[in-house]
Amino acid sequence: MTRARYTKATLPAKPCVACGRPMTWRKRWAKTWDEVKFCSAACRKRVRRA
Ligand SMILES: [Zn+2]
């Protein structure tokens, strides 16, 4: 199990590629964090259209 890597003190973060806002790691992204690029569905749509 690699779950223990993400503790409150070491939450990873990265900017949304659409709006540039920093995204902090969320539990729902636990499995897909490396693939997460957008902070929200709205941002995803924005980039897709561009
Ligand atoms: Zn965004």
Per-residue pLDDT of 2-44, as tens digits, reads 666 666 678 899 999 999 999 999 999 999 999 999 999 999 9
Q: Which alpha helices (DSSP H) does 1-50 contain, by range?
A: 41-49
Which pLDDT belongs to residue 25? 92
The pTM of the full predicted model, rounded to 2 decimals, is 0.70
Span from the CA of 37 to the centroid of ligand 1 (angstroms): 8
Return the H-helix or E-strand segment holding 22.
strand 22-24
Span from the CA of 33 to the centroid of ligand 1 (angstroms): 15
| Listed residues: CB within 5 A of ion ligand 1 | 16, 18-19, 39, 43
Which pLDDT belongs to residue 48? 74
Measured distance CA(20)–CA(9) in Å, rounded: 23
Two tokens at 31? 């499995």
Which pLDDT belongs to residue 50? 59
Span from the CA of 15 to the centroid of ligand 1 (angstroms): 8
Span from the CA of 45 to the centroid of ligand 1 (angstroms): 10
Longest distance between any two alpha carbons in the chain, whole Å: 39
